[in-house]
Structure 1
Amino acid sequence: MIIQAIRSALFYVLFIGQTFVVAVVIGTLALVAGRTRIGWELAKYWCRSNLVLLRAVAGVRTQVSGLENIPPGGCIIAAKHQSDWDVFAIFPHAVRPAYIVKKELMRIPFFGWAARSLDCIEVDRRKGAHAIPEMMRQAHAAVERGCRIVIFPEGTRKAPLAPADYKYGIARLYGELKVPVVPVALNSGLFWGRNSAVIWPGLAQAQFLPPIEAGLAPDIFLERLKSAIETTSDALILGAVENGLSRPLDGRLSAAISSRRQAPKTAA
């Protein structure tokens, strides 16, 4: 525990330091020249180097599968969100991603300038449904620039096996853009959880699932999306547990694991 806490602290120092430097460089470039190829390459470097640091310093390995499920052309990538790892893992594979992020992040000097130059779409969650029209305008503009929209449908990081809470904004976005949606399941929260001081070694996995075709009724689409992401995320988490975890399990997670293991037997 103590050794892993030290490894985690070292990672955070390197991660935060590198993030600051990269944000300043990309943000300055954005102020001077707007969107540039250099900015994109630096962003890719940031993501890949963070994954390298996670493995080398904290012991978190990365596995991304199902890339063949990403269709050519415009689409929405809708991912489970359990960790900052999710951003690093998805970014390099989305070609030109446009992440939907909360407005507060876009107001941070340098970081916000950099995010805007990387096609990020801001949403003011305090406005609720009133924020949707502006988000749609930005999303349409991003698709026209050749971006793939990346959204975390629950709006925030969730603990592994916590009750799902999908917002209706993803259904509105799906209906508005009329493009396929690629669900992404993952188990990263087992190793680098929300507000976790300690990062635990292990294999963090993300799986791109078969796309959901455009044109479905909103409620049907949302149910299919939730079912795909939650079922596969649960399977990835339970698989990691079966293979053995180095982290301790708290009461909530232990109970959730036990509940998921019993669910198929109950259903039968």
Structure 2
Amino acid sequence: MADVRAALARAARAFDPVSATPRLDAELLMAHALGCTRERMILAQLGDPEPGGFPDLVARRLKCEPVAYITKTRSFWTIDLAVGPGVLIPRADSETLIEAAVAQFGERGPTTILDLGTGPGTLLLAALDQWPHAQGLGIDRSPAALAMARDNAERLGMAARARFALGDWARGIDARFDLVLANPPYIGTAEALMAEVRDHEPGEALFAGSDGLDAYRAIVPDLPRLIAPGGAAIVEIGSSQGDAVAALVAKAGLVPTLRRDLGGNPRAIVALERIDASTHI
């Protein structure tokens, strides 16, 4: 029987044609099969026998099933989220929104947070973990996503501070929030996607009309009434959508600022209230 080290090497070679991160995929699946953390596996268990369930996990990945759906978890910012079919898998690029919020608010942080299109609670729960004094509301049109978000909040000890509700973006919300977050669908319907995304993740969380801008057209006009004085809205964008979304934000009477992800790609627009210079004379 192969040991963990040899099984990892074999799986990584097999994943090379179907994954951009074959070794990482193999390590995450192996740690899941062993019932330990990836770090524990690398430090102490590479010489252990290959667990019996590992080949089945490899077979699922070779059919382009996302690793996060197989392991039922995904790390994001400072938290681990339970995920599964029917919800968008959190991406590291989306951490750009939390980084932008930290840059905007610093340690004082926002007190109230709204997350539009919360999915499994990704942005809201990461922000609440960053600022333990804050509370927030997550909105989604998917009952399955909301059920997972509530479960994540309970497991992370945030159920008392995080509320979730079924809704269509900001329709029917009449409160104001210090921080409004949104990672809406922004892929054009004709754009090509990797099989693991196209065939497994929910289309309603991915596609937004022919140009990928439909969700912004629905969300951005409501931002001025949602942002509390001194607050901010931060929305994720596709890498080619900075100018288009910034124009929508400016048309709504807010001031847009582009934020880039760690790869240097446009990733978020920060929207702030426009300051009238005449009020400071």
After TM superposition, the score normalised by the length of structure 1 is: 0.38
The one of the two structures with greater contact order (alpha-carbon pairs below 8 A, sep at least 6) is 1
After TM superposition, the score normalised by the length of structure 2 is: 0.36
Higher strand share: 2
Higher helix share: 1
Structure number with larger C-alpha Rg: 2
